[in-house]
Amino acid sequence: MRPFTYERASSIEAAAKVAASNSQAKFIAGGTNLLDLMKLEIETPAHLIDVNDLGLDKIEATSEGGLRIGALVRNTDLAADETVRRDYGLLSRALVAGASGQLRNKATTAGNLLQRTRCPYFYDTNQPCNKRQPGSGCSAIGGFSRQHAVIGTSDACIATHPSDMAVALRTLDATIESVKGDGSRRSIPIADLHRLPGDTPEIETVLEPGEFITAVLLPRPLGGKHIYRKVRDRASYAFALVSVGAVIQPDGTGRVAVGGIAHKPWRVEAADTELPNGARATSRVLLADARSTGQNRFKIDLVERTLGAVIAAAKG
């Protein structure tokens, strides 16, 4: 870990301004992913801006009948919130499917969205990785790729986004609120937040340098059955091989997003309309352009099978 200076931000605007003016600065909130990566010098900020004191730890009702979740709300608190449990059960379910009790107590809403891939080649600084060192190559292609993406990949990167929470937020059509370095504010639909790798896998979101997520907005509750099904090798404390987040109405219509298969939470709106026609029809649309490495071929079947289980559970 390289030496860094440290400050506790006193205002959102000040924090964003410092970050925008200094390419070596990073925000730190829970720190559970950033410090992990700093120890390995995969992240090497020269300055840390601690944003824990900005009062962004509240969950409030919005005038539109939705919910505004402060960026610094801890994963545990978000999962345990009564309104979230009642109206956005999918979000609670996705949160508690991730990480461990200890990590959820520190990890924040914005930090969870911005966590980086767990690709083991990204994590080993001796190995080529376009995401870590642009232009060096992708070791996962042709290497150990059982956990890697099967859709939206590029020749430069086949990493997945590891978040469970993001899958739920994508299903729920959340909106990200942010402040840019110049103090201006904007809203970003969750669908647009994460990028596909393309030729620049090192750029993972549409956030500008210094741009700071302040909150996540949930629209009005959807009703229906909320199901988050995470499939993994061990029973807990593991990243998803495949996960399915779905909200399904009594008539069988609904919406679905999939985790563990792409560089971002994967949702294809056209696939939602296939839900009443069953898992096969839905996954055919969801995974229309799927491309496996061989080692991760099983994920394509697994999405369909998991989707089948979710649809059956919604009926049951």
Instruction: Note whether 57 and 73 are within 8 A (CB).
Output: yes
One of 68, 70, 93, 151 touching another protein (CB under 8 A): 93
In angstroms, what is the minimal distance from the CB of 66 to another protein?
A: 19
**Which helix (H) or strand (E) element contains residue 227?**
strand 225-231
Residue whose CB is less far from another protein, 2 or 58? 2
As given in the structure block, the two tokens for residue 119 are: 């690709």
| Candidates 86-94, 152-160, 198-206, 247-255; binding stretch for another protein (CB under 8 A) | 86-94
Residue whose CB is less far from another protein, 79 or 151? 79
Site for another protein in 51-80 (CB under 8 A): 52, 76, 79-80
CA-CA distances (angstroms) from residue 165 to 188, 207, 227?
Answer: 17, 19, 13
Dihedral angle at the C-alpha atoms of 271, 205, 141, 266, nearest 10 degrees? -10
Residue whose CB is less far from another protein, 5 or 187? 5
Instruction: Note whether 143 and 187 are within 8 A (CB).
Output: no
Q: For residue 284, state whether it binds another protein (rule: CB under 8 A).
A: no
Residue whose CB is less far from another protein, 121 or 266? 121
Q: For residue 174, state whether it binds another protein (rule: CB under 8 A).
A: no
- Residue 223: Cβ-neighbour burial (10 angstroms; 0-12, 13-18, 19+): exposed
Site for another protein in 206-235 (CB under 8 A): 229-235
Residue whose CB is less far from another protein, 104 or 263? 104
Of 297, 292, 268, 296, nearest to 282 by C-alpha is 268
Instruction: Note whether 90 and 247 are within 8 A (CB).
Output: yes
Interstrand relation of 212-218 and 175-179 (parallel, antiparallel or unpaired): antiparallel
Instruction: Map tokens 């009948």 to a residue.
Output: 65
User: How many residues are present in the chain?
Assistant: 316
Q: For residue 2, state whether it binds another protein (rule: CB under 8 A).
A: yes
Residue whose CB is less far from another protein, 175 or 212? 212
One of 12, 27, 28, 268 touching another protein (CB under 8 A): 28
Q: For residue 166, state whether it binds another protein (rule: CB under 8 A).
A: no
One of 9, 72, 129, 207 touching another protein (CB under 8 A): 9
Residue whose CB is less far from another protein, 39 or 220? 39
One of 137, 143, 219, 276 touching another protein (CB under 8 A): 143
**Sheet containing 5-8: order of strands:** 5-8, 47-50, 25-28
In angstroms, what is the minimal distance from the CB of 145 to another protein?
A: 10
Site for another protein in 177-206 (CB under 8 A): none
Q: For residue 270, state whether it binds another protein (rule: CB under 8 A).
A: no
Residue whose CB is less far from another protein, 62 or 102? 102
CA-CA distances (angstroms) from residue 79 to 83, 124, 168, 174?
Answer: 10, 32, 12, 16
| Candidates 64-72, 196-204, 237-245, 250-258; binding stretch for another protein (CB under 8 A) | 237-245
Instruction: Note whether 147 and 167 are within 8 A (CB).
Output: no
Q: For residue 261, state whether it binds another protein (rule: CB under 8 A).
A: no
